[in-house]
C-alpha cells in the first residue's frame, strides 16, 4: 500500500474508531495525518520527545487496524454503499436483502 493510500485508509478507519482512542492519541493522529504536522512539531506542542509521538502514532495505527479486523465497520460501510448504489441504478429487490444481511 502506497503512502497516500495508507494515509487515506487510516483516516477512514479513524473516522469509524476514534471513539475507542485516548484524547492524546486522537490529537496526535489529527495533527500528523490530517494537519500534516511533523513528528518534531507535535513533540514540541505536547512537550514530549519525537520518539514518544512516533510510538503513539504506531500504536494508533495498530489499534485502528486491529479494530477493523475484528469489527469490519469500514468494510461493511463500503459494501453497504456499493449495494445501495447498485440498487439505485437497478431497483433490484434482492439487493435490499443483501444490504440487510450486512446489519446482522
Query: What is the per-residue pLDDT for 104?
Result: 65
**Domain that residue 77 falls in:** 72-104
pLDDT at 93: 67
Name which of 22, 23, 31 is nearest 50 in CA terms. Answer: 31
User: 41 and 81, same structural domain?
Assistant: no
Rounded to two decimals, the pTM is 0.78
Largest Cα–Cα separation, the chain: 57
Q: Give the pLDDT score at 95.
A: 67
Neighbouring C-alpha atoms within 13 Å toward the C-beta of 47: 0
| Tally of domains in the chain | 2
The answer to whether residue 13 scores a pLDDT higher than 70 is: yes
pLDDT of amino acid 85: 78
pLDDT band for 83, please (50, 70, 90 cuts). confident
**Same-domain check for residues 8 and 35:** yes
Clarify whether residues 43 and 86 are in a common domain.
no
What is the model's pLDDT at position 91? 64
Same domain, 21 and 45: yes
Amino acid at each position: 500500500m502506497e503512502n497516500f493510500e495508507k494515509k487515506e485508509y487510516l483516516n477512514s478507519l479513524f473516522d469509524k474508531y476514534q471513539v475507542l482512542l485516548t484524547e492524546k492519541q486522537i490529537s496526535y493522529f489529527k495533527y500528523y495525518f490530517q494537519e500534516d504536522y511533523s513528528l518534531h512539531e507535535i513533540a514540541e506542542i505536547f512537550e514530549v520527545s519525537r520518539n514518544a509521538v512516533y510510538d503513539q502514532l504506531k500504536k494508533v495505527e495498530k489499534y485502528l487496524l486491529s479494530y477493523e479486523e475484528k469489527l469490519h465497520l469500514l468494510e461493511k460501510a463500503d459494501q453497504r454503499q456499493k449495494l445501495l448504489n447498485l440498487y439505485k441504478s437497478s431497483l433490484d429487490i434482492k439487493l435490499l436483502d443483501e444490504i440487510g444481511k450486512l446489519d446482522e
